[in-house]
Amino acid sequence: MIKIKNKRLLDANEDILVQQVSASGTMRGINDLEINRKYPRSHSEYNKICKDNSYDYSKMKGKVDLTKESGKYIAKIFSQDENGNTDYKALRRGLRLLRKYAEQEKLSVAIPFKIGCEKGNWNDIIDIVNQEFKDYTVILYK
């Protein structure tokens, strides 16, 4: 079940903050930059994973890097291809993995509103989020 809050993702009370990432080792979105500043170890681990996998998206697509830092989990879903396009299958796989983990550990989830829409279709993305969290609450922050 999706709920929407008109707040910054960085101000979320939920246990897990979600980011969509590529294999490039860089992030440019406003939410990403704010999260990276507040949770630098999470960003360092992301860079290391990208480097360890030779910045090869095919090795990481659909996977989730989950880092706990300062009481929050930062979940980076590898679902942005080499051209910056949202990979819908990878996003679905990552959200499914994340939901299973959140459910198992009884953790709440916060996702940025319009995640993946820089080069993706929001209607397709929100359908995926709805399907993967149909009976588990997720909060979208805008």
Using the predicted structure, report yes or no on whether residue 30 has a pLDDT greater than 80. Answer: no
Q: Rounded mean pLDDT of the chain?
A: 93
Query: Could you tell me the residue range of the domain that residue 90 belongs to?
Result: 2-141
- Answer yes or no: is pLDDT of 28 > 90: no
The CA distance from 108 to 54, in Å, is: 32
pTM of the model: 0.93
β strands within the chain, DSSP E: 2-5, 16-21, 64-69, 72-78, 109-112, 138-141
CATH of the domain at 121: 3.40.220.10
C-alpha distance from residue 79 to each of 3, 35, 60, 115 (Å) = 22, 18, 9, 11
Alpha-carbon distance of 115 to 125, in angstroms, equals 8
What confidence category does residue 118 fall into, taking pLDDT thresholds of 50, 70 and 90? confident
Residue keyed to tokens 């440019």: 28
Would you say 119 and 84 are in contact if contact means Cβ atoms under 8 Å apart?
A: yes
37-78 residue pLDDT tens: 899 999 999 999 999 999 999 999 999 999 999 999 999 999
Q: Name the domain count of the chain.
A: 1
